[in-house]
Amino acid sequence: MRKTALLNSNLSSVISKMGHTDMLAIGDCGLPIPNESERIDLALIKGIPTFIDTLKVTLLELEIEEVMLAKETKEVSPELYKEIKDIVGEEKITFITHEELKSNLMKCKAVVRTGEQTPYANIILKSGVVF
């Protein structure tokens, strides 16, 4: 059994295969996931797991250098934006439109679906390097 916090084998597998600048998305339960993208569906019921919990655990395993957020997140869900900003710290945040975020999902190694139902609770994480 794994000793680290992340137990989901599909998510762990994707992260272990990521290289510098590869992307991984985490989204709410309503985010439309393209058929071409690998879907890691964690959603159980409304709110479980949460977007924030999923982001925190993912970042225990994944080194990032940038995040992409829909600019609508900051406007429509400011409390969520503040939590994201606190979690990612000094990492670069690039704001794009929600439509651009959805278009970028096809470039992601995978899209993680949570049970979150907060509007615009979606993020794309760009992999960094540990050296």
Q: What is the pLDDT of residues 20-30, one digit of tens each?
A: 999 999 999 99
Residues tagged in the binding site annotation: 28, 98, 120-122
Q: What is the CATH number of the domain that holds 56?
A: 3.40.1650.10
The first and second tokens of residue 16, run together, are 């272990």
Domain that holds residue 50: 21-127
Residues tagged in the binding site annotation for substrate: 28, 98, 120-122
User: Is residue 42 domain-resident?
Assistant: yes
User: Into how many domains does the chain fold?
Assistant: 1
pLDDT in tens, the chain (131 residues): 777 889 999 999 999 999 999 999 999 999 999 999 999 999 999 999 999 999 999 999 999 999 999 999 999 999 999 999 999 999 999 999 999 999 999 999 999 999 999 999 999 999 999 99
User: Is residue 46 domain-resident?
Assistant: yes
Catalytic-role residue among 17, 20, 92, 107: 20
95: Cα within 13 Å, side-chain hemisphere: 9
20 is catalytic: yes
Whole-prediction pTM value? Answer: 0.96
**Which residue, among 23, 48, 10, 41, has the nearest Cα to 108 in the 3D structure?**
23
User: Is residue 6 domain-resident?
Assistant: no
